[in-house]
Amino acid sequence: MNIFILEDDLNQRQRIEKIIQQIIHNNRFKCKKLFITGKPDKLIKEIIEVGNHQIYFLDIEIKKYKTKGLEVAQTIRKKDPYGTIVFISTHSEFAPLTFSYKVSALDFIAKNQNDEDFSNRITSCLSFVEENKVKEIATDVFIFENNNKKFQIPFSEILYFETSPQPHRVFIVTKKQRLEFYSNLATIEKLDDRLYKSHKSFVVNLANISKIDKSCNILYFDNGESCFVSRRKLKNIIELVSISK
**Based on the domain organization, do 18 and 118 belong to the same domain?**
yes
| Among 138, 157, 175, residue at a domain's last position | 138
Rounded to an integer, the average pLDDT of 212-229 is 93
Q: Looking at the structure, do residues 67 and 133 belong to the same domain, yes or no?
A: yes
- Residue 134 sits in which domain range? 2-138
Q: What is the pLDDT of residues 188-209, one digit of tens each?
A: 999 888 899 999 999 999 999 9
Query: At what angle are helices 115-138 and 10-27 packed, to 10 degrees?
Result: 50
124, containing H or E segment:
helix 115-138
Q: Bigger pLDDT: 98 or 35? A: 35
Are residues 157 and 172 part of one domain?
A: yes
pLDDT band at 224, cuts 50/70/90?
confident
Would you say 143 and 151 are in contact if contact means Cβ atoms under 8 Å apart? yes
Which CATH number characterizes residue 168's domain?
Answer: 2.40.50.1020
Q: Specify whether 110 is located in the same domain as 64.
A: yes
Q: Is the pLDDT of residue 149 over 90?
A: no
Q: Please state the length of the chain.
A: 245
Considering the domain architecture, whether residues 202 and 184 belong to the same structural domain is answered as: yes
Within 8 A by CB and 6+ apart from 86, the residues are 55, 56, 57, 58, 105, 106, 107, 108, 109, 122, 125
- What residues pair up with 114 in beta bridges, in sequence order? none
Q: Are 13 and 120 in the same domain?
A: yes
| Mean pLDDT for the chain overall | 90
pTM of the model: 0.72
Residues 13 and 105 in one domain: yes
Are residue 100 and residue 201 in the same domain, yes or no? no
The domain boundary residue, chosen from 138, 170, 196: 138
> Are 154 and 133 found together in one domain?
no
Q: Are residues 90 and 195 in the same domain?
A: no
- In total, how many domains does the chain have? 2
CATH number at residue 87: 3.40.50.2300
Query: Region 214-227: what's the mean pLDDT?
Result: 92
Rounded CA gap, 163 and 185, in Å? 7
DSSP state of 169: E
Are 85 and 206 found together in one domain?
A: no
Residues 176, 91 within the same domain: no
Q: What is the pLDDT of residue 245?
A: 58
